Amino acid sequence: MSTNNQNGRDAQLPMPDHSRGNDDDGVKKGQSFLGTGHNARDVVSIFLAEFSGTATLVFLGCMCCVTGFGNTPTHVSVAIGIGFTIMMAIIIFGHVSGAHINPSLSIAALVYGLLNIPMFILYLIAQFLGGLCGYGLLMAVTPMKLFTEALETGNGACVTAPHDDLSTWEAFGVEFFITGILVWTCCGLWDPRNSKFGEGLPVKFALIIVGIAIAAGPYTGASMNPARTLPPSVWNASYKSTWIYFVAPPLAGMVMPLIYKYVFRREAPQDEHTAMITRTTEQIKASIVEQHRI
């Protein structure tokens, strides 16, 4: 992940700042495509990055969940596979769109002030379409009998559903809090004070995903991502407690950034040299006038 300094904010999850009418490439307000703050070419590029990234996540991530070919997936193997897949998506598309590949994180970016509403809508459309296409591609290259067997013995291949021993609200709580941890991870990366610690972020982020998925996978499947939950449910027509995954993670995406933004976030401290460079002309003139008075 790269570090982008925009509007005084260091967005370490490579996060283009779409919260303004103009962007750093000199796009004038009148040239902004659909109010996104970007020209049409950049909007298409960002859309395709989120589409392709989410498709990659669902295609490879759900491939890790398929039982067959002499392989029986475990929660640990699936968690590692999905973590590595997310790392790939960040490396390939992070510098283009931020590689959210998750509506919950796009909601968090909107609340945190890194996305404007037109870009947020664009991200959501790209993510859900990408996920649906990614799972469709997986079904196209996998024998149908494996999906049929998965439905006969469970909820379906890669379908997220709470464990039978969990109550509805226990499952809801698990998805809310693990998504909250993921969102806080992103908020920490977006924090200006974290700008000096950007090396190896794709690997670090992947390991965080693996850790969360290993812990919570047996409980709810550790979705944290409506765009990852929807495709297997739709393609397999399996909807056990699906509403949990469309309410709890987005709710965490709304609540947790507010807590981080107003409780934990601070501007990065400036050393004397940086402070001199960033002083405005008015501040310099005022300082000179004050010195003459003395």
Count of structural domains within the chain: 1
Q: What percent of the chain has pLDDT over 90?
A: 70
Contacts of 153 by beta carbon, 8 Å cutoff, 6+ apart: none
Structure tokens belonging to residue 113: 């002030």
Average pLDDT over residues 125-135: 98
Q: In whole angstroms, give the CA distance from residue 226 to residue 272.
A: 46
Q: Which tops the pLDDT comparison, 194 or 60?
A: 60
Residue 292's pLDDT band (boundaries 50, 70, 90)?
Answer: low
Average pLDDT over residues 259-275: 74
Contacts of 91 by beta carbon, 8 Å cutoff, 6+ apart: 202
Residue 22's pLDDT band (boundaries 50, 70, 90)?
Answer: very low
Average pLDDT over residues 78-89: 96
pLDDT for the residue 193:
85
pLDDT for the residue 11:
35
pLDDT for the residue 127:
98
- The position carrying tokens 């307000």 is 29
pLDDT for the residue 31:
76
Entry pTM? 0.82
**Whether residue 282 has pLDDT greater than 90:** no
Q: What percent of the chain has pLDDT over 70?
A: 80
Instruction: Tell me whether residue 175 is in a domain.
Output: yes
Query: 155-213, pLDDT tens digit by residue?
Result: 999 999 999 999 999 999 999 999 999 999 999 989 888 877 767 888 999 999 999 99
**Whether residue 6 has pLDDT greater than 50:** no
**Whether residue 9 has pLDDT greater than 70:** no
* CB 236 within 8 Å of CB 160: no
State the amino acid at position 219 in one-letter form.
Y
Instruction: Tell me whether residue 274 is in a domain.
Output: no
pLDDT for the residue 23:
44
Instruction: Tell me whether residue 275 is in a domain.
Output: no
Q: Which tops the pLDDT comparison, 244 or 192?
A: 244
Instruction: Tell me whether residue 263 is in a domain.
Output: yes
Instruction: Tell me whether residue 118 is in a domain.
Output: yes
Instruction: Tell me whether residue 288 is in a domain.
Output: no
**Whether residue 260 has pLDDT greater than 90:** yes
Give the CATH number for residue 76: 1.20.1080.10
Q: Which domain holds residue 19?
A: 4-269
Instruction: Tell me whether residue 293 is in a domain.
Output: no
Q: Phi and psi of 8, rounded to 5°?
A: 80, 10
Residue 233's pLDDT band (boundaries 50, 70, 90)?
Answer: very high
Instruction: Tell me whether residue 281 is in a domain.
Output: no
Average pLDDT over residues 224-249: 97
Q: Which tops the pLDDT comparison, 20 or 3?
A: 20
Helix (H) or strand (E) segment spanning residue 4: strand 4-6
